[in-house]
Structure 1
Amino acid sequence: MAVLRKQNGHDLGFLQALYASRRWAEVSAVPGWNDAQRRAFLYSQAELQRQHYENHFPAADFLIVEQAGSPIGRLCVQYAADDVHIVDIALLPDWHGRGIGTELLRTVLAKADAQRQTCSLSVEQGSRARRLYERLGFRAGADTGLYTQMQRPAPQEACESP
């Protein structure tokens, strides 16, 4: 079972590697770059993402996903009064397809359900994760070109019989 812990300054190298693992195929298509240039570009993009998340989601929980004491992913969630927003969820490629992402999402959704809150996220166009989100009750909303906004409704209160 995956364990969550708060992200700290010692995680920056891991977060760079995680980001690079998610974008490596895209950047590999750029002609004329060697691997060192690709890595430098991706690490700079990881830093920009980190700054963006910290500026736009300052109250979010920035968590590292660990398995057997080693970091394997990240989960970033912002809890607001009426919505739980999943800012980012990512696992290293070797950990895909093992149910860990589903387990993390169900944990977040259980917290949202307990507070009768909606849960929202953005998913990249063409992402395989969209099918998982739909199975978990998320519905597609606004389309911004690169991303689709998705939301899972808050659970309804149980109706009492007369």
Structure 2
Amino acid sequence: MIHAEPLAFPSPTKTPGYLLDAHPGHGLALRIARDTDLPYFRALYAASRAPELAGMPWPDAAKQAFCDSQFELQHRHYLAHPAPAGYFVVMRDGQPAGRLYLRHEVNELRIVDILIDDALRGRGVGTALLRWLQSRVREQGLARLTLSVAVYNPDARRLYERVGFVTGERTDMHLGMSWPH
């Protein structure tokens, strides 16, 4: 179900200074997301769902419509529950490489969403971002960096564990994880 009103990002006025002018290393930079990034984010989302949909006996147009609908629902959910720390495009060597949505909560920084371009997975991009976020948490004196990972995403879970995240609360669909500083 596609709505007529725009899917605009809110103004980035609440983005903490420690996340601005971000250069996590590994050729990476963070840029505050703009409405013009939505087509890239939509394609990135669809690519992330492609393996799951590969076995579905749907025509390509139906798969695309499904992904478009799911992207819109997810994006609207994120906008309804704003991420005061910011919505970012992960850039690598000047090109979009993923998205990173963060929320600054009491004494913690939460990764609301992290999605890296399939072509760059396994090349250190996620590790560099996570290490950089850990350094920001440490420098700001925050207690922890938190996230939720889908239980059906063992690759991401292994990455998080490799950089020091520990498991916490589990639901049927997600596993809470935190990196205690």
* Contact residue 149 and residue 156 of structure 2 kept, 8 A: yes
Greater Rg over alpha carbons, structure = 1
Distance 2:97 2:83 in 1: 23
Q: What amino acid sits opposite 1:14 in the alignment?
A: Y
Distance 2:78 2:85 in 1: 9
Q: Does 1:149 align with 2:171?
A: no
Name the residue aligned to 1:13: 39
Distance 1:10 1:99 in 2: 27
Q: Does 1:76 align with 2:85?
A: no
Shift of 1:126: 3.6
Structure 1 residue runs of 5 or longer lacking an equivalent are 155-162
Q: What amino acid sits opposite 2:48 in the alignment?
A: R
Residues 1-162 of structure 1: matches in 2 within 5 Å? 1-31=27-57, 33-114=58-139, 115-127=141-153, 128-154=155-181
TM-score (norm 2): 0.80
Q: Percent identity?
A: 39
* Contact residue 28 and residue 38 of structure 1 kept, 8 A: no
Structure 2 residue runs of 5 or longer lacking an equivalent are 1-26
Q: Deviations over 1:104-150 (max 9, x none)?
A: 11111111112232111001114211111112221111111111001
Question: What do you get for the CA RMSD once the two structures are aligned?
Answer: 1.3
More displaced 10-residue stretch of structure 1: 142-151 or 109-118: 109-118
Q: Describe the shift of the 1:152–1:68 C-alpha distance in structure 2 as closer, same or farther (beyond 3 A).
A: closer
Paired residues, number: 153
Distance 2:106 2:31 in 1: 23
* Contact residue 165 and residue 180 of structure 2 kept, 8 A: yes
* Contact residue 63 and residue 75 of structure 1 kept, 8 A: yes
